[in-house]
Amino acid sequence: MNKKIIDSLKEKFKSGIFIVYIIAAALLVSGSVALTNSYFRIKAKDMLNRIFPDKFNYCIYYENNVPYYDVNDVDFVNADVREVQVGNNKKYLVNHSRGFALGFPRDAEFDFSTAQEYITVRCKDMTAVVSKEYSTYETASQTRAYIKDYLHKYLLDERYMEQNKITLHKDAVEKIGDFWVQMVAISRTPAPDSPIKLNSYIYCYIYTDSTMFYRIMFKVPEYNDEVLEEVYRTLYSFSTDVPIVGKSDTFTDFKPELPDFWSEETKEFYDNLVNGKECKWGIYTPHAIVNNDFSEVERLEEELDYKFDGILEYRYYFEDLPVEGMKTACENGKVVELTLQTSTVMNGDLDGYNPVFDILDGRYDYRFEIMAHQLKEVGHPILFRLNNEMNSDWTSYGSSACLDDPELYVMLWRKIYNIFKEVGVDNAIWVFNPNDESFPPAGYNSSMAFYPGDEYVQVFGVTGYNTGTYYDELNGEKWKSFKEIYDNIMEKHHHVYDKFPWIITEFASSSIGGDKVQWITDMFEQMHNYPNIKMAFWFNSVDMDTREGYESIVARPYILDETPETTKAFAQGLKKVKEAEGK
């Protein structure tokens, strides 16, 4: 309500002119009139509370993300319950299923749809993300090092800050109320005409005596004393004197909203993908599309007696698309899965310049306009996978290298999507593809935090490799069966993304540490257990050891026809696929 109106109402109340209105409202609140529905009573209280912030306090209860206005209607024991107390010009959040509470400004709006992992709070000039986290270490002291050295390994790096125009305002641990809190405050200097308005961050890590900690990230237009005062108010209000009851859950409803501008061929391809009964198979062989040379693919197809339905290729944002190679693949009956990455490096140098910020600021719009025209020129449906494995710590567009803020990824995706739409790209099917595990393994880094929105995604992509045991002594890498990998993916993601068709965008098995032939055999036997997977692309290449002095060693041999036995196992599996398809 406009401040002038509120002031006017106050004056009228003081003069007695508005007394009738107040009496009527009070009757409504008390339920003495015919309209006694609790929702309308709450609305009346809310209106009066805005006029008189220290009066007419009330509560709203969210049971499984559905609002209730009477505590007697809420099942605290068996449901996921959160409570918002409104009064004294504040909103106080009580999270019963996670055991904590804290206060925010009166205009705060809460998004509880992903509350099992994190809660988003939006105010007029501030956004906050709240999560309850656990470190991967065993003690409280190790957890504090984990926060400083891992969660902020790029953010607090001097080279990273210098090359990405980041200013550090504060990095300190202090006692706030009953808790020790690590507070880190930074600002990024954007381009003068940048559309990004919230460029200052305050990260607060509330320590406990265990490996558990609480994280609150604040985003504001500018770092100043007034903002810091508001942050301190929230931190002083923080409490864990909330008995944990009920169960924490997620209440998303992600589903594809298909574009009305797709070409007829793209619509037909998508319909066939969604309704297909058997998983289709694609392949990656290095540079086949870029070089417009499919001889290696054709050799594999002859060995396997199978024509692949798709082929995978990668490009960076500063590279032109291989239009001719893509056309050739499409004309030969193969859908192209094009992976575009807004990066200048391959899993390295992440503590240096990050192009994501310049892209968000609009400096590279022309590059994506060029790319959009090239993609449109292909003239056939393309599975367009943008910035895969974003919930990781090895990509320049993931949160670790982007101010620990997944929302920047969402903004980046939507920006590129809208450029493509404006150019008239009618053949791109957008594939959202998180990694099977999140790194860091944190609630705020959940795949849900990166989801661009129903309008912007048509296919859900998954990636799960059996990386083998080459790095066992270095990082505990273990051999994993196909079932182990994809059961885990299903458990984590199916309840959130079950309304999408799925594709395995890239995967394979190493041969180091186990029986690759049996792994391939089991893969084909078990694929039918995941009916939402409509297509799978085998990564027919290798990962080299990138450590200095070891660069010539193959760490993960993913080659499909590595041995006659692996070739035979794959051919036998594909033969059954052909028989099921009636080919």
- Secondary structure (H, E, C), 434-460: CCCCCCCCCHHHCHHHHCCCHHHCCEE
Alpha carbon distance 62, 72 (integer Å) = 12
Residue 249 falls within a domain, yes or no? no
Q: What percent of the chain has pLDDT over 70?
A: 93
Two structure tokens written together for 214 = 């609480």
Residues 42 and 103 in one domain: no
Q: Please give the pLDDT value at position 4.
A: 54
List the CATH number of the domain containing 441. 3.20.20.80
pLDDT at 45 over 80: no
The candidate with the shortest Cα–Cα distance to 368, out of 296, 292, 426, 316, is: 316
In-domain check, residue 107: yes
Calculate mean pLDDT across residues 554-578. 97
**Residue 244 falls inside a structural domain:** no
Instruction: Grade residue 37 by pLDDT with cuts at 50, 70 and 90.
Output: low
How do residues 395-442 score in pLDDT, each as one tens digit?
A: 999 999 999 999 999 999 999 999 999 999 999 999 999 998 899 999
Q: Would you say the C-alpha torsion 436, 440, 443, 447 has a positive or negative sign? A: negative
Q: How confident is the model at residue 43 (pLDDT cuts 50, 70, 90)?
A: confident
Region at 261 (left for phi over 0; alpha for psi -120 to 50; beta for the rest): alpha
Q: Are residues 424 and 561 in the same domain?
A: yes
Residue 258 lies in a domain: no
What is the percent of the chain with per-residue pLDDT over 90, rounded to a whole number?
A: 87
The SS3 of residue 463 is: strand
Report yes or no on 250 lying in a domain. Answer: no
Mean pLDDT of 311-329: 97
Which helix (H) or strand (E) segment holds residue 179: the answer is strand 179-188
pLDDT digit string, tens, across residues 376-392? 999 999 999 999 999 99
254 within some domain: no
Are residues 441 and 570 located together in one domain of the fold? yes
Same domain, 307 and 436: yes
Task: Over range 258-275, report the average pLDDT.
Answer: 98
Q: Is residue 355 part of a domain?
A: yes
| DSSP letters spanning 29-70 | HHT-SS---HHHHHHHHHHHHHHSTTSS-EEEEEETTEEES-
**Cβ-contact 192, 363 below 8 angstroms:** no
**Stretch 159-181: mean pLDDT:** 97
Range of the domain at 105: 57-237
Alpha-carbon distance 41 to 27, whole Å?
A: 10
Q: What is the mean pLDDT of residues 334-359?
A: 92
**Whether 479 and 365 share a structural domain:** yes
Q: Say yes or no: 41 and 61 in one domain.
A: no
Domain final position from 51, 67, 93: 51
pLDDT score of 3: 53
170-191: b or e for each residue (b if 16 or more CB lie within 10 Å)? Answer: eeeeeebeebbbbbbbbbbebe
The sign of the torsion formed by the CA atoms of 144, 145, 146, 152 equals positive
Give the pLDDT of residue 55.
74
Q: What is the pLDDT of residues 95-115, one digit of tens each?
A: 999 999 999 999 999 999 999
| Res 51: pLDDT | 80
Give how many domains the chain has, as a whole number.
Answer: 3
Task: For residues 212 and 283, state if they share a domain.
Answer: no
Q: Is residue 217's pLDDT more than 90? A: yes
Kindly give the pairing relationship between strand 212-220 and strand 200-207.
antiparallel
The pLDDT tens digits for 440-459 are 999 999 999 999 999 999 99
Q: What is the C-alpha separation between 383 and 309, in angstroms, rounded?
A: 12
The verdict on residue 242 lying in a domain is: no
What would the pLDDT profile of 50-89 be if each residue is shown by its tens digit?
A: 787 777 789 999 999 999 999 999 999 999 999 999 998 8
The answer on 75 and 175 residing in a single domain is: yes
The model's confidence at residue 44, banded by pLDDT at 50, 70 and 90, is: confident
For residues 159 and 408, the answer to whether their CB atoms sit within 8 Å is no
Mean pLDDT of the chain: 92
Q: How confident is the model at residue 26 (pLDDT cuts 50, 70, 90)?
A: low
Say if residue 153 is in the same domain as residue 300. Answer: no
* Whether residue 86 sits in one domain with residue 68: yes
Find the helix or strand (DSSP H, E) in which 339 lies. Answer: strand 335-341
pLDDT-based confidence at residue 521 (cuts at 50, 70, 90): very high
Q: Examine the domain organization and report whether 321 and 181 are in the same domain.
A: no
Task: Please tell me whether residues 424 and 568 are part of one structural domain.
Answer: yes
pLDDT at residue 14 in the model: 46
Question: Which CATH number characterizes residue 102's domain?
Answer: 3.40.1000.10
The type of residue at 392 is S
